[in-house]
Amino acid sequence: MSLLIGDRWREGCGERLRSTDPASGDVVWEEKTATAADCAGAVAAARHAFSGWARMPLGERIALARRFAALLSDRREAIAATIARETGKPRWEALTEVASMIGKVDASVAAQAERAGERSAAAAFGDAVLRHRPHGVMAVLGPFNFPGHLPNGHIVPALLAGNALVFKPSEETPATGEAMLRAWTDAGLPPGVVNLVQGGREVGAALVGADIDGLLFTGSATAGAALRRATGNRPEVILALELGGNNPLIAWDGDAEAIASIVVQSAFVTAGQRCSCARRLIVPDGAAGDAIVDAVAVLTDRLRIGAWNEVPEPFCGPLISAAAADRALAQYATLVEMGGRAIREFARISGRSDAFVAPGLIDVTGVSVPDEEVFAPLLQVIRVADFDAAIDAANATRFGLAAGLVSDDDELWARYRDAARAGVLNRNRPTTGAAGTMPFGGIGASGNHRPSAYYAADYCAYPVASFEAARVVNQVADLRGVA
């Protein structure tokens, strides 16, 4: 049963969709997708459920969200296995994803109270009161790389705020989407408050074209720009776009192996399939830079790459698909053609499925490379003469998601902190360090200034300012210009 519309799980009427384990090719999920009519039906079911859900006292919505978290906890191993099989990420990492999903509930309750709660101030006439109201029906489109955690980061705050939803998971990870929604319905969510449609871009486009009040999107910058165009003549539709990046990491001073541990975690975790992964490593020219690059190469050679359930456990798995590997390898070939020099070749791994690639390191110093995200374990090395040039190189991107500095020098950190253009800016920590207790989002082509995580509460409700007097008071005497 691939769709949840209102109170009914049912078959889709569209094309057949299949997700597979990218390491083995085993089929994980196979069902029919939604049609445009299914999408419209799901939005209508959400619209029908919306007012009752929005009127439910917040405490009851919170209690339901906590039941959902408890069910995720009970099903932790099974959901992690589903995530790992569909994405190829190792079991240990899928378990951390489920833990983030569970933690999202309490973090969102706190965020909502702080950023979208109610407050009141006494005024001469009575009270000035700030309240927040839900938008209505939100469409949530999820990416494949965190198929549970990232849509959950929209869904939990949107439901707490009183919105109803239609969720479309990535076409690469439908089983994870289904497992999430089953936990919500098993937690006792009223019918129609969340609905599920499955399918690819066309199904996403049909959902976006339906009668929605908001679109909460995590995915590529290209798709984000297309969705902005698709909703351009509907300014009333709230749009939260969490997009990709071409993230810089300046590694400047410190013990070379310690630096390498931060670089490798930044660039290669999740096989480079995190929006926050470092794509560009900026190092000083000369011996200090050479030592850093050598240490990164040595540590890269030690990374174990394997299937999600292999023993001993791998550092990372394959890419999401052979097609994703083809795209990334083509981007690498362009860098080589343009003059990039391989330090560690980015290539398929023989004896493995075509989705497996070995992490690559390429020196692109002096080469005018495209400012594109390569969503794979490929790190471009740029050597610079001084720290000003490092800052310039880091900021030379249309994106602005994550960035980092590895240095013990407080003065350099102060300079970079003031000059960097990114929504996540870390020091001596991987660029991939995100937390639900902080906002997460970028500037430039990385989003539309509606950060998610702790600030998701902001785009899930609109503020209402009320100036309230409890009794009708005659104000004729206060009117100016009255005879």
102 neighbors 72 (Cβ within 8 angstroms): yes
Site string for ligand NAD, 50-89 (x = CB under 6 A): ----------------------------------------
Residue with Cβ nearer ligand SIN (80 or 164): 80
Query: Within its chain, how far is the Cα of 237 from the centroid?
Result: 20
Site string for ligand SIN, 415-454 (x = CB under 6 A): -----------------x-x-----x--------------
**Site for ligand NAD, residues 222 to 251, rule: CB under 6 A:** 223, 226-227, 242-244
Strands in 370-438 per DSSP E: 378-384, 399-400, 402-406, 424-427
Residue with Cβ nearer ligand NAD (134 or 151): 151
Torsion angle in degrees (nearest 10) through CA of 450, 263, 330, 21: -80
Collect all residues with Cβ–Cβ distance below 8 Å to 219 and sequence separation of at least 6.
141, 142, 143, 170, 242, 243
Task: State the burial class of residue 130 (Cβ atoms within 10 Å of its Cβ: 0-12, 13-18, 19+).
Answer: middle
Distance separating alpha carbons of residues 72 and 69, to the nearest angstrom = 5
By rule CB under 6 A, what count of residues binds ligand NAD? 30
Torsion angle in degrees (nearest 10) through CA of 322, 324, 328, 331: 110
Distance separating alpha carbons of residues 13 and 107, to the nearest angstrom = 38
User: Taking the alpha carbons of 439, 444, 445, 450 in that order, is the dihedral positive or negative?
Assistant: positive
144 binds, among ligand SIN, ligand NAD, none (CB under 5 to 8 A by kind): ligand NAD
424 neighbors 444 (Cβ within 8 angstroms): no
Distance separating alpha carbons of residues 381 and 237, to the nearest angstrom = 41
Identify which range of 22-30, 204-212, 289-297, 386-394 contacts ligand NAD by CB under 6 A. 204-212
Tokens read off for 46: 């959400």
By rule CB under 6 A, what count of residues binds ligand SIN? 8
Degrees to nearest 5, angle at CA 108 with 52 and 53: 5
| 345 tagged catalytic | no
Site string for ligand SIN, 266-285 (x = CB under 6 A): --------xxx---------
Among residues 39, 275, 277, 460, the one annotated as catalytic is: 275
Asked if residue 147 has a cis previous peptide bond (ω within 30° of 0), the answer is no
Residue with Cβ nearer ligand NAD (145 or 185): 145
Region for 263 from its dihedrals, namely left if φ exceeds 0, alpha if ψ lies in -120 to 50, beta otherwise = alpha
Tokens read off for 280: 């560009």
208 is a contact residue toward ligand NAD (CB under 6 A): yes
Residue in 53, 68, 144, 268 binding ligand NAD, rule: CB under 6 A: 144
340 binds, among ligand SIN, ligand NAD, none (CB under 5 to 8 A by kind): none
Among residues 242, 277, 316, 460, the one annotated as catalytic is: 242
- Return the axis-axis angle of helices 221-230 and 201-209, rounded to nearest 10°: 30
Identify which range of 25-33, 168-176, 188-196, 331-339 contacts ligand NAD by CB under 6 A. 168-176
145 is a contact residue toward ligand NAD (CB under 6 A): yes
Half-sphere exposure of 136 (CA within 13 A, CB side): 13
Largest CA distance in the chain: 93
> Token match 């919105």: residue?
163
Residue in 68, 146, 399, 454 binding ligand SIN, rule: CB under 6 A: 146
Q: How far is the CB of 137 from ligand SIN (least distance, A)?
A: 25
Q: How far is the CB of 346 from ligand NAD (least distance, A)?
A: 18
At 9 the three-state DSSP class reads strand
| 13 tagged catalytic | no
**Site for ligand NAD, residues 111 to 130, rule: CB under 6 A:** none
Q: How far is the CB of 87 from ligand NAD (least distance, A)?
A: 10
Residue with Cβ nearer ligand NAD (112 or 170): 170
Degrees to nearest 5, angle at CA 173 with 178 and 240: 90
Site string for ligand NAD, 448-477 (x = CB under 6 A): ----x-------------------------
36 is a contact residue toward ligand NAD (CB under 6 A): no
Q: Which residues are catalytic?
A: 242, 275
User: Which residues contact ligand NAD by CB under 6 A?
Assistant: 141-146, 150, 168, 170-171, 200-201, 204-205, 208, 218-220, 223, 226-227, 242-244, 275, 373, 375, 401, 440, 452
User: Which residues contact ligand SIN by CB under 6 A?
Assistant: 145-146, 274-276, 432, 434, 440
